[in-house]
């Protein structure tokens, strides 16, 4: 996929110009509608997960992409008079017309799901199939829609978008698992600045939040797939369940995890969408290994940073990282990534992971820091130098459940190290957000 893209323009019914591009050729047309601020003029190498979406879907057919109105190469939208969802449905049809597509498989993300649903309901001949990720039919609460959010919360989110645009702070809501990774936060902040202005970013979110297509759901008669993460922190899974329940014959797939952003673990989403569209999964089976994962996290890091100031806090974090790396070397652990105020590492065995966690905990006490740690042994997916999958989520949630100065483990770890001399105290079953049923957790004693 070569950059810059050959961007052309479609003209919607109200005269709005929409930047679009056709990225590949194939036996079927695929329209990808990304419900976020995009810019077809920015190389997608800056956004690895988004690039992955484009690359895989481009192999599945003739891929058509566009910047939604208000973003990238498309015309801006009024700040105080955002267009209704019907306008965005007309935008999709205008892009299909300009790309000479009579019928396409529509893949819609987040706020683009509502106009895609309306397109399928009103122009079924243009939609071969409908795949929705992070979907909702309505965001705001109503007497007949209690799962919605209060108006003041939605409006506060829109305002926060304008105030924090270009800082990467949105990651804390849309991809909390990446929010503490300085490198991810850095490129995300830069991409925000390259795509739209703060005011346009807020207007895009308001445009998405004001949609209501509940009445159209039962009129959708095309094959429909609804994919959502069970622990999604931005759009509760209840919204997607509502969509799937009201579209006749829709198939609902719930993935593990709490990130809403589709650039987080994109292959898990793409596997389902690609199979739905083509009948087979083009992605190779991921490399899975059994390993022990350790997560550590500085307790109260935000308050400490506020108290000591940015420069002093950076010095403290550097010393914390040195302690962590020294102990990882000592106990033969592999650092996967620093998370800003903690670390993620893997070990060949659970006993050394526990001993390393205890050593890091004791080592940073002289810096005036308390950490919490979580250890779990299970299968993970290896993605180059990174790892992913449910085993990683479990270890992270165990760390989040532990108290200051505590090292907690899963029952799997406890059972594997019996006879090692490490003592445990049962903490009983605990709910772990985004990973299903409660897990039996243990605290390392002493």
Q: Label residue 43 by pLDDT band (50, 70, 90).
A: low
Q: How many CB atoms lie within 10 A of CB 421?
A: 6
Q: In the structure, what pLDDT confidence band is assigned to residue 311 with cuts at 50, 70 and 90? A: confident
Residue 341's pLDDT band, with cuts at 50, 70 and 90, is confident
Cα–Cα distance for residue pair 364/119, rounded to 1 Å: 56
Q: Residue 361: pLDDT above 90?
A: yes
Give the chain's mean pLDDT.
90
pLDDT over 70 (residue 102): yes
Q: What is the CATH number of the domain that holds 399?
A: 3.30.70.1230
State the alpha helices, DSSP H only, in 213-309: 237-246, 266-278, 301-308
CB 434 within 8 A of CB 230: yes
Q: What's the rounded Cα separation, in Å, for the pair 201 and 43?
A: 19
Residue 183: pLDDT band (50, 70, 90) is low
Q: Coil, strand or helix: which one is 423? A: coil
Q: Give the containing element (helix H, strand E) for 51.
A: helix 48-60
In a domain, 1, yes or no: no
CB-CB neighbours of 248 under 10 Å: 12
pLDDT band at 307 (very low <50, low <70, confident <90, very high): confident
Give the residue numbers spanning the domain of 397: 287-444
59 and 176 housed in the same domain: yes
316-336 tens-digit pLDDT: 888 999 999 999 999 999 999
pLDDT digits (tens, 9 = 90+) for 243-271: 999 999 999 999 999 999 988 888 889 99
* pLDDT the model gives residue 280: 78
The pLDDT of 24-36, averaged and rounded, is: 92
Q: Of 346 and 437, which is predicted with more confidence?
A: 346
Q: What is the predicted pLDDT for the residue at 1? A: 59
Judge whether residue 160 has pLDDT over 80: yes
Q: Are residues 268 and 294 in the same domain?
A: no
Mean predicted confidence (pLDDT) in 380-399: 86
CA distances from 362 to 254, 326, 358 (A): 40, 13, 6
Burial of 70 (0-12, 13-18, 19+ CB in 10 A): buried
Whether 116 and 87 map to the same domain: the answer is: yes
Identify whether 334 is part of a domain.
yes
Q: Is residue 3 part of a domain?
A: no
Check: CB of residue 216 under 8 Å from CB of residue 117: yes
Residue 432: per-residue pLDDT: 86
Give residue 37's pLDDT: 81
In 83-140, DSSP assigns E strands to 104-109, 127-133
- In contact, 72 and 41? CB cutoff 8 Å: yes
Q: Is residue 2 part of a domain?
A: no
- Report the alpha-carbon distance of residue 371 to residue 364 in Å, rounded: 8
In 3D space, the residue among 116, 111, 163, 118 whose CA is nearest the CA of residue 139 turns out to be 111
Number of compact structural domains in the chain: 2
Q: Examine the domain organization and report whether 207 and 299 are in the same domain.
A: no
Reported as a single tens digit per residue, the pLDDT across 211-223 is 999 999 999 999 9
Cα 182 from chain centroid (whole Å): 16
**What's the pLDDT score for residue 21?**
95
- What value does the mean pLDDT take over residues 122-148? 96
Q: Is the dihedral of CA 389, 394, 400, 405 positive or negative?
A: negative
Same domain, yes or no, for 39 and 84? Answer: yes
My answer on whether 307 and 354 are in the same domain is yes
Show Cβ contacts of residue 114 under 8 Å, excluding neighbours closer than 6 positions. Answer: 85, 88, 135, 136, 137, 208, 211, 212, 213
Among candidate residues 278, 298, 326, the one where a domain is terminated: 278
């Amino acid at each position: 996929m070569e950059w810059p893209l050959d961007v052309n323009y479609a003209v919607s019914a109200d005269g709005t110009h929409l930047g679009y591009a056709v990225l590949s050729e194939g036996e079927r047309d695929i329209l990808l509608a990304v419900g976020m601020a995009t810019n077809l003029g920015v190389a997608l190498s800056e956004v690895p997960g988004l690039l992955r979406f484009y690359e895989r879907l481009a192999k599945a057919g003739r891929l058509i992409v566009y910047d939604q109105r208000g973003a990238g190469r498309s015309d801006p939208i009024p700040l105080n008079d955002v267009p209704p969802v019907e306008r965005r449905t007309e935008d999709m049809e205008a892009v299909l017309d300009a790309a000479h597509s009579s019928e396409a498989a529509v893949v819609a993300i987040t706020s683009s799901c509502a106009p895609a649903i309306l397109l399928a309901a009103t122009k079924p001949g243009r939609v071969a199939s409908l795949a929705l990720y992070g979907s909702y039919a309505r965001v705001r609460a109503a007497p007949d829609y209690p799962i919605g959010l209060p108006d003041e919360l939605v409006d506060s989110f829109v305002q926060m978008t304008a105030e924090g645009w270009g800082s990467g702070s949105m990651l804390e809501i849309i991809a909390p698992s990446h929010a503490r990774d300085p490198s991810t936060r850095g490129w995300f902040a830069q991409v925000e600045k390259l795509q739209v202005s703060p005011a346009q970013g807020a207007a895009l979110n308001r445009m998405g939040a004001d949609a209501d297509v509940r009445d159209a759901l039962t009129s959708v008669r095309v094959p429909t797939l609804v994919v959502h993460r069970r622990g999604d922190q931005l759009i509760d899974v209840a919204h997607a369940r509502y969509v799937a329940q009201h579209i006749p014959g829709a198939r609902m797939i719930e993935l593990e995890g709490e990130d809403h952003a589709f650039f987080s673990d994109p292959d898990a989403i793409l596997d389902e969408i690609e199979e739905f569209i083509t009948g087979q999964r083009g992605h190779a089976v991921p490399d899975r290994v059994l390993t022990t994962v350790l997560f550590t996290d500085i307790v109260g890091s935000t308050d400490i940073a506020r108290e000591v100031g940015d420069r002093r806090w950076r010095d403290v974090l550097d010393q914390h990282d040195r302690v962590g790396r020294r102990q990882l070397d000592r106990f033969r652990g592999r650092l996967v990534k620093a998370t800003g105020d903690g670390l993620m590492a893997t070990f060949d065995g659970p006993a050394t992971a526990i001993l390393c966690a205890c050593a890091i905990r004791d080592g940073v006490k002289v810096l005036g820091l308390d950490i919490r740690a979580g250890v779990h042994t299970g299968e993970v997916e290896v993605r180059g130098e990174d790892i992913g999958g449910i085993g990683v989520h479990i270890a992270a949630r165990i760390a989040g459940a532990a108290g200051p100065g505590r090292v907690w483990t899963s029952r799997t770890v406890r059972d594997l190290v019996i006879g090692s001399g490490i003592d445990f105290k049962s903490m009983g079953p605990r709910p772990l957000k985004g990973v299903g049923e409660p897990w039996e957790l243990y605290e390392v004693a002493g």
